[in-house]
Structure 1
Amino acid sequence: MRPRWIMLVAGALLLGPAGCTGPADRVDGPPPAGRSSQSVSPDERAEGLAAQRRLLADRVASRDDYETSVGGLQRCLAAHGIALVNKGWNPVDQLSMMIWYRATDKPDEYVTGYGDSCFEAYLSAVDDEYRKTAAPTMEPRLLTSARACLVTHGITPRGGEKSMADLLALSEESEPVTTCVKQGVSQLYPGIPVPLGW
């Protein structure tokens, strides 16, 4: 049987809108209604939520906090026979890590159920808070590649660009910018499906 891969695209497949609650409100309470039968135990959930509460005690999520939470997610998945494939920080904005769930000889429903449940317990609140507070910043090699490409399209970078939004502000047309970023991604990260949302 083929391996099963479930991709987590920057948390979007597993999280709804963040709403108006603070981090302390998002890491407590009963499990959501409609939970899959493939879900973590109450003890596992409590352990993960407690870990997130500790990391968010100062109401700030740092890069280290995010990576620590991904480690918790990985351990939770491993306890249920699911591997976490981590390709590092998304180079387009560095606001999330490119992670996938992989399991052999397990149905998609099993992987998705435990994936959602582990993510919620160990990473969701930290992920939400990090996205709210961190500034999107393009990985330096990708930024350099995109700037050089833009010059070939007749667009002159000013030199202070740090993010996709900064690059888009250089031109009235978004197509050359998105083309250059996509080109840089394919050259620098071959074979890695980098989420390109902007």
Structure 2
Amino acid sequence: MRYPGLSIVIALLACGLASCSAAKEPPSGQAAADKQQNFRIDDRDTKKGEELQAKLMADRSVSRSDYEQAVKAVGECFSRYNLTFSNEGWDPVANRTIDFTFGNEKLSDDEVLGYGDGCQRAYLEKIQEAFVTSSKPVMNPAVLKESQACLKQHGIQPTMTETNVHDLLASGGKPAFKTVVKCIQESAHKIYPSRSIHVSG
């Protein structure tokens, strides 16, 4: 079983504005959390990750390069616990997170999530939160162009000055909300057919 990384989980939580498809969403609940606690990453990884995040945030800002370095470190942490790592790259809808999945069919879900969540907390969590908070969503140009064309096909006239999801939703207006979201999803899937697309931010 493969699970989504932090960026995809955040998008899933934001999906009040759209129906989202993705890799299997991690199970929630105290019972699941208790079981996962049995599979914790080594204290050395926890310390190393905390030191990396502190170093990257030393100037009180997080750049795309900082974020990419943290994601690379997460992937290396995964490998130390026999988890495969698939980096899908920057989210084409908002460009504020890097989408990735992790897993190992030979391990139990509790093992995968216990080690996987541990690596993400140690190496990425604070970095991602800081980057998402401080950056503005900017849609991939190709996805934006395709989305605008889709809106026109549905009788919605975009301003052609849009740069993100919120701009497109504003151009469509509340009555066209679902149509706009569908256009964005379909446009992104058309250009990135193998990606899990999440419309948020």
Bin for the TM-score computed over the shorter chain: 0.7 to 0.9
Q: Which residue of 2 aligns with 1:104?
A: 105
Higher mean Cα deviation, 133-142 or 168-177? 168-177
Corresponding residue for residue 131 of structure 1: 132
Instruction: Report SS of the residue matched to 2:185.
Output: helix
User: How many equivalent residue pairs?
Assistant: 177
Is 2:151 aligned against 1:154?
A: no
Residue 65, structure 1, aligned to residue 62, structure 2: no
Is 1:82 the counterpart of 2:79 in the alignment?
A: no
Q: Give, in whole Å, the separation in 2 of the partners of 1:5 and 1:149.
A: 32
When normalised by structure 2's length, the TM-score is 0.82
Partner of 2:30: none
What corresponds to 2:120 in structure 1?
A: 119
Q: How large is the RMSD of aligned CA atoms in angstroms?
A: 1.8
User: TM-score when scaled to structure 1?
Assistant: 0.84
Question: What residue in structure 2 maps to residue 179 of structure 1?
Answer: 182
Task: Give me the identity figure in percent.
Answer: 28
Is residue 5–residue 99 contact of structure 2 (8 Å, CA) maintained in 1?
A: yes
When structure 1 is superposed on structure 2, of 147-156 and 76-85 the one drifting more is: 147-156
Q: Which runs of 5+ in 1 are unaligned?
A: 17-32
Equivalent positions of 1:12-27 (< 5 A) are: 12=9
Over 3 Å off, 4+ runs: none
Deviation at 1:195, TM superposition (A): 2.0
Superposed CA deviations along residues 25-69 of structure 1, whole A, max 9, x for unmatched, are: xxxxxxxx9671211111110101100000001111111111000
Correspondence for 1:52: 53
Q: Retained in 1: the 8 A contact 2:165–2:200?
A: no
Give 5+ residue unaligned stretches, structure 2.
14-32
Q: Give the equivalent residue in structure 2 for 1:8.
A: 5
Deviations 1:142-193 (A, max 9, x none): 0010011111112222221100000001022212211211110221111322
Is 1:166 aligned to residue 167 of structure 2?
yes
